[in-house]
Structure 1
Amino acid sequence: MSTLENLSCPIDSAPLQRCERSLICQHGHTYDLAKTGYVNLLPVQNKRSKDPGDSKEMVTSRHAFLNQHHYQPIVQAILSSWPKENLHNGVRILDAGCGEGYYLSEIGRVLSDQGINAERMGLDISKWAVTAASKRDKDISWLVASNASLPMPKERFDAVLCLFGFPVFTEFSRVLSDHGVLLLVESGADHLIELRTLLYPSIHEYKATFAAGVPGFELLHEQAERFTFTLDSQLHIQQLLSMTPHIHKASYDGREAVKQLNSITLTADIKLRWYQKEIKEVNYV
């Protein structure tokens, strides 16, 4: 079962203590657990909109698509590329931008099969995503929270995963242990290229992110993972489309063209980059 331990109050950073179905800090700020077991640590004043993050509809579509396991090769690539010295029994993992929980749940399942017990925590700014995640896997601690201000003390985790998310490197560095690692997973140039060709008149030139490096981190390893998968119904095609930004960005003609399809074979092009937290040297005078 999830523990929701070693967390900080998002208002004053004081430690949170579990008291039955609530987390409470020494100054009296109280956060009640939802029925499904997650806790909302995103104060109203930290929200940029009334309902931030992915909508209920996007989460429903993503949940349905991921449950078909077309992206299982991404899970395998994450685990096979994981720095071996970091992947030990009791490893503490944060999925920063966990969505509806598919990847963190699958990672835990595979690690358990290998005899590795991992402490897992997932957070997302979308309450709809975290609600779905908390129903998917009860052995993970789930939070509604923001990467911009992680509600936990320093050196809390051994690994931070940011999969197709919005990284905040200063915060990731703060909550990572001295020898902690960070994984960024992002789309490559040809990701879903067959779908994008239908949706858009032209394809923008691909530009790699963080090409100059990531402040506070040293690049350990990077790799590309490519595979194909087939969606065999209009329903499944629309589920994929609805979980991506393309549903809002594509032209009307492009979306109409996709509606005519009964099946499509797509390329998945994924970039994985592992980083080591840089340890600052302290000069004693």
Structure 2
Amino acid sequence: MTTKAFEALACPLDGEPLYRESSSWRCANGHNFDVARQGYVHLLPVQKKRSKDPGDSKEMVAARQRFLGAGYYQPIAEAVSAAVLKDVSEGSHLDCLDAGCGEGYYLRQLASAAGGRVSLAVLGLDISKWAVLAAARKDRAPSWVVGSNANLPVQPASLDRVLCTFGFPVYSEFARVLKPGGKLIQVDAGQDHLRELREIIYPQVRAESKKVDEVPEGFRRVETQDLRFTLHLEGAEPIADLLAMTPHLYRASAEGRARAAQLDSISLTVDVCLQTFERYAPAG
């Protein structure tokens, strides 16, 4: 496979292009960002953090690594990769960002799906330093960045694809960094997603979907795909890992978490919506 680092990074302080010099990234105004020995760079300024250690904890990242590594969400990864590569001719090049990359699972699956047919310049960004550290340790080929979707450290109109999988989309930023005709591939939970688990941990389950109904400004909807399958988990560890990698871990009461901890098997509905949006070319 042909996968390399994405290099059109921008300074998170002034938006100026960043240039790699040895073991650091610098902008023309003298701002300097060192590359960690594990291969990632921290581009989330202290003044733009909402907490001391934002994003997923070290424990949540480890749980996600185990769960995704076991292949439970492989159908979702395959659908995401297919959407990214759809209508891309052999020998093409794509600049790709995973906005909320976690430990890099979906980008690694994309690189595998592309094989040698399409070359990729890849950037994985997450607000959690633990997630980015785990991703960088697994694969040093892409660019890995600690950063925020609210202030993407990426030069304007430099990306062909943006992935946002169970993440926090900031459409104005996605529109800014995508090239005209570039595509946003977004995955959100449907109303029945993990319903069986939610019925155990919550006293009442609301029928709600995170599916995006309105088309974001600057985009047009290209395709919508509903993906639904049954997932059977055997053993306490994968059940605990699934709960730990979702927001339900904090939303559930202590009693709800205790009920989940007593499970030794469960069959779950996976219900997600994958949507592809295309960036409009600017007028004129």
Question: Are residues 32 and 87 of structure 1, via their aligned partners in 2, closer, same or farther at CA, if it must alter by over 3 Å?
Answer: farther
The amino acid that maps onto 2:151 is: S
8 Å contact from structure 1 (residues 90, 118) kept in 2: yes
Task: Find the counterpart in structure 1 of residue 100 from structure 2.
Answer: 97
Task: Find the counterpart in structure 2 of residue 7 from structure 1.
Answer: 9
Query: 1:87 Cα shift?
Result: 6.2
- What is the alpha-carbon distance in structure 1 between the residues aligned to residue 153 and residue 104 of structure 2? 19
3-state SS of paired residue (1:147): coil
Pairing partner for 1:159 from 158, 161, 164: 161
The amino acid that maps onto 1:279 is: A
Query: 1:206 Cα shift?
Result: 1.1
3-state SS of paired residue (2:223): strand
Aligned pairs for 1:123-162 (under 5 A) are: 123-162=125-164
Query: 1:84 Cα shift?
Result: 2.7
Question: Are residues 87 and 163 of structure 1, via their aligned partners in 2, closer, same or farther at CA, if it must alter by over 3 Å?
Answer: farther
Question: Are residues 153 and 81 of structure 1, via their aligned partners in 2, closer, same or farther at CA, if it must alter by over 3 Å?
Answer: closer
Segments of 5+ residues of structure 2 without an aligned counterpart are none
Segments of 5+ residues of structure 1 without an aligned counterpart are none
- What is the alpha-carbon distance in structure 2 between the residues aligned to residue 275 and residue 120 of structure 1? 19
The amino acid that maps onto 2:25 is: L
Pairing partner for 1:40 from 39, 42, 47: 42
- What is the alpha-carbon distance in structure 2 between the residues aligned to residue 187 and residue 6 of structure 1? 31
Instruction: Compare 138-147 and 250-259 and name the one that shifted more.
Output: 250-259
- What is the alpha-carbon distance in structure 2 between the residues aligned to residue 190 and residue 279 of structure 1? 36
- What is the alpha-carbon distance in structure 2 between the residues aligned to residue 71 and residue 212 of structure 1? 26
Deviations 1:86-125 (A, max 9, x none): 466211111011111101111111111x622211111011
8 Å contact from structure 2 (residues 192, 207) kept in 1: no
Does residue 109 of structure 1 match 2:125?
no
Percent of residue pairs bearing the same amino acid type = 45
8 Å contact from structure 2 (residues 219, 277) kept in 1: yes
- What is the alpha-carbon distance in structure 2 between the residues aligned to residue 159 and residue 248 of structure 1? 32
8 Å contact from structure 2 (residues 103, 135) kept in 1: yes
3-state SS of paired residue (1:85): coil
8 Å contact from structure 1 (residues 2, 138) kept in 2: no
Q: CA RMSD in A?
A: 1.6
Deviations 1:107-148 (A, max 9, x none): 111111x62221111101110110011112222111001111
